[in-house]
Amino acid sequence: MPPSPASAYPCGLVWFRRDLRAEDHAALYHALTQCAQVHCVFVFDTDILDTLPRADRRVEFIRESLVELDAALRNLCGHAQGGLIVRHAAASEAVPALAEELGAQAVFANHDDEPAALERDSQVRTRLAAASRAFHTFKDHTVLERSEVLTQSGSPYSVFTPYKNAWLKKVDAFQLSSYPVERHAHRLAPRPPTCRHAVPDLAWLGFEPAGLAQLRIPTGASGARQLLKDFLGRIARYDTARDFPAIKGPSYLSVHLRFGTISPRVLARTAHGLMREGNAGATTWLSELIWRDFYFQILHHHPHVVGHSFKPAYDAIQWETGPEADALFAAWCEGRTGYPLVDAAMAQINQTGYMHNRLRMVVASFLVKDLGLDWRRGEAYFAEHLNDFDLAANNGGWQWASSSGCDAQPYFRIFNPVSQSEKFDPEGKFIRRYLPQLARLPDKALHAPWLARPLDLQEAGVHLGRDYPHPVVDHDAARQRTLARYAVVKAAHAD
């Protein structure tokens, strides 16, 4: 196909990363409107994969979503040899090499502001430039990003509420509109003969199935649409239902936002429209989507948050270390703290790769402010186990819980795991699901078994120390230790 008058490049390559969909895709749209022919690639980046366990739900999610993306691209272009080119290599080398193989004059991708991704993209840009090839990147993973929302003085926000207000003033129909990929899809090129193979299976990649089917986690763009349709039927109750882990309150779309199987513009546009109609649940949900943008712009402007506190004074805190601290961390990881809501939440993440948002706050507060352990240990554990792990949101959440981040809860606010349990799982439905050994305890005894009447424990078949552990710490005593631990921060603020 000869270049059309509007084509800047005869051939372009779209590099899919955390945007595994064919519709409303910024980089794909720009490539299709600037190139006469467009190829598409996804790289199973060995620089990332080699650091993961051999059974990883996220790799399985990506693989299944790519099968659907491959089919969607072939359907868009209308010929059987269209679709996705897949590589299993270091992306920093594979993408420039493929561009050369295809004769592509430009590579198109969407922004990824994580530090490791920026370094990778810098290497790709350098290698492409050495061969006189262009590298274009676009906003796609958030609605508003980087420096699009700034204070009147031109600085980034570090407090959420004014950021949110500015975000709502800034956002408009253009920002929320979708990219019309379909009308330009005739420019999708057939894959070259050397690339005509299906998306590889997990075994070919060196991985094992991680149980997505058993967990009934829907994958791909169709899975995201299915979850959104279900959520819209109950979104009006989101503002109240979202805090109760035993209730079907959340959207469950976080993993799809993470891997881009649905566009954030679609979700924000939907929520924004319902908010304007007075839907309280949609208003709260839109606020959660804005939090997501907020944490991404914090990461962009303050990359030191990776590994360090947003507020430098908090790096002076002395966390517990040594064998006893390691034993406490293991008890937290394995759900053996003796606090049922904490242990049930850890069972949830260990078994499913998901944790309810209210519980993320509870277990994070418990690790930092009851056990006195460095928030970075918990951040790393979540990074390894969460299906929806996103560096910006995970870091922001952990720094919020430890009071070391921007707009964080005050250090003297410490969640009581028992009162949180009584308030948000009053009937113990969530606890009983993940801690069946406590299922026969009466509701009042379930939240703090060590305070239960001996007769209740006996009738429930619970022997503390055998069937369920005693508390590893006393919350009230731990609270006092935390206030003393954070005194160094208080002193710094006084200065």
Most distant pair of Cα atoms in the chain: their distance:
84
* Residue 400: active-site member: no
Distance of CA 164 to the CA centre of its chain: 20
Residue 308 one-letter amino acid: H
Give the active site residue among 15, 167, 285, 291.
291
CA distance 293 to 149: 10
Both tokens of 415, joined, read 């969640």
Give the active site residue among 15, 285, 332, 375.
375
* Residue 291: active-site member: yes
Measured in degrees and rounded to the nearest 5, phi and psi for residue 327 equal -65, -40
Distance of CA 311 to the CA centre of its chain: 23
Give 283's contacts (C-beta < 8 A, 6+ positions apart): 239, 271, 274, 275
Give the active site residue among 15, 332, 398, 400.
398
Give the active site residue among 319, 320, 350, 416.
319
CA distance 67 to 198: 8
Give the active site residue among 357, 416, 422, 450.
357
- Give how far Cα 37 sits from Cα of 5, 97, 183, 444, 485, Å: 13, 18, 14, 66, 61
* Residue 450: active-site member: no
CA distance 105 to 92: 17
List the 106-110 sheet strands across, edge first.
Answer: 84-89, 35-45, 9-16, 106-110, 134-138
Give the active site residue among 93, 288, 320, 422.
288
* Residue 332: active-site member: no
* Residue carrying the six token digits 């995201």: 224
Enumerate the active-site residues. 288, 291, 319, 357, 375, 398
